[in-house]
Chain A
Amino acid sequence: MQSTRVAILGVDVGGTFTDAVLLDGGRVRTAKVPTAERQEESVLAAARAVGARDVERFAHGTTTATNALLERRGGRTAYVGNAGFEHLLHLRRQTRAHLYRLCAQHPEPLVPLERCHGVRGRLGPAGELEPLGEIPDIGDVDAVAVCLLFSFRDASHERAVAGELRRRHPGVHVVASHELAPEFREYERASTVAADAYLAPVAARYLSALADAAGAAGLPEPLVMLSSGGVATLAEASAHPATILVSGPAAGVVGAGLVARRAGFADAIAFDMGGTSTDVCLLPGGRAARVAERDVGGLPIRLPSVDLHTVGAGGGSLVRVDAGGAIHVGPESAGAHPGPACYGAGGGATVTDANLLLGRLPGELPGGLVLDRDAAAAALAGVDPAAVVEVVNAEMLRALRVVSVERGHDPRDFALVAFGGAGPLHACALAEELGIATVLVPEAAGVLSALGLVAGDERRDRVVSHVRPLAEVSDLPQDGEADLRYRGQSFELTVPLQRDLAGAFHRAHADRYGYSDASREIELVAVRTADIVPGSAIDLHATASRTVSGPELVELPGATCWVPDGWSGETNDDGTLVLSR
């Protein structure tokens, strides 16, 4: 692969740290700075720390949208639905939040009841049933979400409503569901467009501040990592911030794909274990598997996303023993402050403390923090640290099985790419359980998301809703994916577009569910395509080469790798540690 001459900068903002990777003439430099209150300041601080100069391309991963959603800091938003269906965001799908805690509440809807409005007029499956009526007064708001029944088939009513609202309220951000997610199932579509409208004021404010700050610092306007693993322009991300809800984790998956492909492994599983949570994702053929819908903070978001499975357990997760004697890890976390007990700041027992007592962490962290073994032992209060690691590994195994076995893939055919602060500590034990032969630990394990940013493709996703028999559909595009199901089913399987699409669907169904039925009619629900401008070719060079043989503790920048007994390996040309048994 040819070295690039231009400098490429990737900056990923996380909850605690902001990571930067600079790719300059094939050389990779990394930096980590604490995340500040104002994210744009952290971005520039990280860019300075990594020595960014003459940057040609600048890509960014951000938690702004996610945090604004989870902390309910979005704009004052109105919702316009069909008259008689105004409360859709509050009705959800009528399930309760907890089966046995009867007054447990769902996360608060993004639009309160008093700002949910109805408009007369109705479309049905076969066209207009009632003409569009008077468009309601939406009051004083920052944003409006419009979602009308059957707009995935016929957008005329939504278009008219959105057009009129834009004329009336030029300063208000208006989004109609067909512009963002023209897919059937009204609640999921409404939830998506409501989140998009709600986030727009916050995302626009942040991204324009970032663009100004970048311009002042002589950096190009940043591209933003999408949940789907591609990057979009700043303007596109500002217009539809629901597309960047898993920006950072998606970048990590792209980074894992890059590392695996370059190490010669076509099929890989990304395993990103951080302080409070763990993300896993399958990468068949070196590219992230994608899903059409994802739950974010209890709200369905019907937009393409890398097929990331998240578990609420990581290195900082708190350990507790219940009355029945079972050990639990997470979802509560010690966070950065006070941190694990061994940080000596009064924190409770965590997975990190267990790893320390097992000799799998150095006595001192990079940056000079000396770890306190006595505090760790006192906090664990007699709980066997090996048992704690086994329990957290069981959680991780379940997640890894969900993305592999439950999706019809045998994990033994995959390499495990371990990253995040704690991923390389646990990866070999997990690989052993799953029968995985190879574990890859990138040199940049601590900042892999930022590496993924510099490697990301520019990508624009499009979806066309069909919901009709596959046999009646002609002239499908050549490249892309089709959501298919047997007529009568409700859940689709996504199959790459190809000549014998029906045959491919029957095979996919048999792989996933154990049977297929060639006599049943197949329905085409949607076709997904993407315009992709490939990212820059990237060359990595190892900063040091080493050979390891377990049991051994390997310190990496921003991460620690535990190589158990029976495992050994060496670094490849990229600096990736290739471990096997």
Chain B
Amino acid sequence: MNVELQVIGSSLRAVAEEMGAVLIRSAFSANIKERRDCSTALFDERGRMVVQAEHIPVHLGAMPDAVAAVMTLPGDFWILNDPYTGGTHLPDVTLVSRTALGYAVSRAHHADVGGMEPASLPAFSRELYQEGLIIPPTPLTDEVIDLFVANARNPDERRGDLRAQIAAHRLAEARIDELCARRGRERVAAAMDELYAYSERMVRAAIARLADGTRSAEDVVEAVDGELTIRATVEIDGEEIRIDFTGTSAQDAYNLNCPLAVTKSACYFVVRCLTEPDLPASGGAFAPVTVTAPEGCLVNARRPAAVVAGNTETSSRIVDVVFAAFGEYAQGQGTMNNVALGNERFTYYETIGGGQGACADGDGPSGVHVAMSNTLITPVEALELSYPLRVERWHLREGSGGEGAHRGGDGVVRELRVLEDCRLSVLAERRAHGPRGAAGGADGAAGRTLVNGEEQPAKVTTALQAGDLVRIETPGGGGFGLASPPGQ
């Protein structure tokens, strides 16, 4: 590879990372500042993603659609959150701006975008309209910002978070200007091409090392009306991979639906784990991967299907199913255990880690986010200083990981006591079925959601009174391989 281009590429990566740092450090909502539920990226003139500062895998494959959605629009700075034109679910608000060479993109999960429940994570939404304000790709103006914040429960915080996002874009614009002035626009453009081509070369070579063949796998999600099936067929053919979801259930009457962008993210995540896990993120890495799904099915839903849990829950299951089609892999907790609490005075959102599935060469880590999320937990002290909530317990759920030659990771227990009347929503999975072990390893324990000691279904929205206690027990990971009998 030409070294000058490699050096410019390293500068471009630094710009994306600096954008992310500015966004996190100057944001106001716990979601962005403490949990880092956001990503930033640079795209080239053709709308191809060249570098991404990754915090959250679910944003991986879903950003290119956002740029494609604004490229033909007038203006140079846009906002969107519409899952059916470039977005994922409504709380993920994406900004796209023109730079001297291509586009800068930031995506951040806003703690509330309106809709029927505080924190915009209703368990029982049946249409997208109930999940919050829908913003199709639109030029970003002061009036649009006013309209957006007027529709959210915490307008002041929303405005602050948007300013942090805008600051990240201003920074990217200035840095790209500097880079073009120093290196020349043509050289920077060539470096962008090379970043994309380099990732593509690396991933193609890695796919070529996998055995060719076609395999299918399936699993279920625990929808409000019963279980829905996800079926994936993976075809490895030379240096390309095709993943198809024919055989998957029709779209959910509630909100487990995924727009295809989210489904693609989940597939790219698995390919990334199995090919080049250390490769810097670039769209080229996914050029050899084709993802298809019948229109109107759970993983390629049609407007105006509700989608809020698709991004967190269904995406987790897609990862499990695609892994299973590739070979024997123990499952991780397979849910993000979304907990949202709020009333007219506050909105709080958290996702809780659990057990990772064991690998062929090691135990699964305990108490971590698996698959499509990697958000941090809000510190107990930060949480209690900010919200009318008290954390009563937070510890490992010992013994919840599946036994095996390698043990699955343990889940965790987190108890929250609410100090004011408020509404609770929990969007979770793996309450009926524990994560599966592989190669003879035992399954991990299923998760549990309890309110005042009473067990709840996987998806729940309910009113709480001051003093009520919510307890979340997250699933353990599956084990890998037969455990040796005692004494051996």
Contact = CB atoms under 8 A, between A and B. Distances in A.
A103 B363 contact: yes
Nearest to B406: A103
Interface in A484-537: 486, 488-491, 509, 512-515, 517, 520
A326 interface: yes
Given A103-B356, A324-B202, 12 more contacts: A87-B367, A88-B394, A101-B277, A102-B359, A103-B363, A105-B362, A185-B381, A187-B379, A327-B1, A394-B11, A398-B11, A402-B14
Contacts of B301: none
Given A102-B364, A103-B365, A394 B28 contact: no
Contacts of A90: 366-367, 396
B27, B157, B199 pick with most chain A CB within 10 angstroms = B27
B385 A491 contact: no
A391 to B, nearest CB: 6
A96 interface: yes
A87 B353 contact: no
A387 B198 CA distance: 17
A187 B394 CA distance: 12
Nearest to A321: B1
Contacts of B384: 124-125, 150
Contact of A150 (B4, B34, B376, B381): B381
Contacts of B11: 394, 397-398
A490 B54 contact: no
Interface in B157-189: 157, 160, 163-164, 166-167, 170-171, 182
A569 to B, nearest CB: 24
B164 A186 contact: no
B447 interface: no
B381 A184 contact: yes
Contacts of A150: 381, 384
A488 B357 CA distance: 36
B22 A513 contact: yes
Contacts of B1: 324-327
A495 to B, nearest CB: 15
Contacts, number: 196
A387 B382 contact: no
Contacts of A391: 3, 6-7
Contacts of A98: 277
9 contacts: A87-B394, A93-B379, A94-B377, A99-B54, A184-B379, A184-B385, A322-B202, A324-B198, A486-B28
A490 B380 contact: no
B33 interface: yes
A22 to B, nearest CB: 42
Contacts of A101: 273, 277
A184 to B, nearest CB: 5
Contacts of B198: 324-326
B33 A491 contact: yes
B112 to A, nearest CB: 14
Interface string A77-121: 000000011111011111111111111111000000100000000
Contact of B167 (A104, A491, A515): A515
A490 B377 contact: no
Interface of B: 1, 3-4, 6-7, 10-11, 14, 18, 21-22, 24-30, 33-34, 54, 57, 156-157, 160, 163-164, 166-167, 170-171, 182, 198-199, 201-202, 205, 269, 272-273, 277-278, 332, 352-353, 356-359, 361-370, 374-377, 379-382, 384-385, 390, 392-396, 406, 412, 415
Interface of A: 84-88, 90-106, 113, 124-125, 129, 149-150, 152, 184-188, 322-327, 384, 386-387, 390-391, 393-395, 397-398, 401-402, 405-406, 433, 467, 486, 488-491, 509, 512-515, 517, 520
A391 B9 CA distance: 11
A149 B391 CA distance: 11
A92 B332 CA distance: 18
Contacts of A390: 3-4, 6-7
A513 B167 contact: yes
Contacts of A517: 160, 163
A322 B439 CA distance: 33
A102 B370 contact: yes
- What are the 10 A-B residue pairs with the smallest beta carbon separation, nearest first? A100-B277, A103-B359, A490-B33, A84-B393, A94-B353, A513-B26, A387-B3, A96-B368, A488-B28, A93-B376
B395 A85 contact: yes
Contact of B368 (A94, A184, A401): A94
A403 to B, nearest CB: 12
B369 A95 contact: yes
Nearest to A383: B3
Contacts of A393: 7
B7, B353, B359 pick with most chain A CB within 10 angstroms = B7
B332 to A, nearest CB: 7
A397 B478 CA distance: 44
Contacts of B199: 324
Given A124-B390, A384-B3, A398-B10, A491 B24 contact: yes
Contacts of B10: 394-395, 397-398
A84 B396 CA distance: 10
A489 B166 CA distance: 16
Contacts of B29: 488
B22 A488 contact: no
A489 B157 CA distance: 10
Contacts of B24: 491
A102 B3 contact: no
Given A95-B369, A95-B374, A149-B380, A467 B385 contact: yes
A398 B396 CA distance: 39
Contacts of A486: 28, 160
A323 B275 CA distance: 13
Contact of B352 (A94, A325, A401): A94
Contacts of B374: 95-96, 99
A104 B369 CA distance: 13
A513 B376 contact: no
Contacts of B166: 515
Given A93-B376, A103-B362, A490-B34, A515 B163 contact: yes
Contacts of B6: 326-327, 390-391, 394
B5 to A, nearest CB: 10
Nearest to A468: B385
A84 B4 contact: no
Contact of A94 (B4, B376, B395): B376
B157 A488 contact: yes
Contacts of B167: 513-515
Contacts of B358: 103
B365 A96 contact: yes
A101 B273 CA distance: 6
A186, A188, A393 pick with most chain B CB within 10 angstroms = A186
A323 B171 contact: no
B381 A94 contact: no
B166 to A, nearest CB: 8
B139 to A, nearest CB: 20
Contacts of A491: 24-26, 33
Given A85-B380, A187-B379, A394-B7, A100 B163 contact: no
Contacts of B393: 84-85
A106 B409 CA distance: 13
A402 B22 CA distance: 12
B27 A489 contact: yes
Given A95-B368, A96-B370, A515-B163, A398 B273 contact: no
A186 B365 contact: no
A431 B162 CA distance: 36
A406 B156 CA distance: 27
Given A84-B392, A184-B379, A326-B198, A91 B412 contact: yes
Given A102-B332, A327-B6, A94 B367 contact: yes
Contacts of B163: 515, 517
Nearest to B23: A513
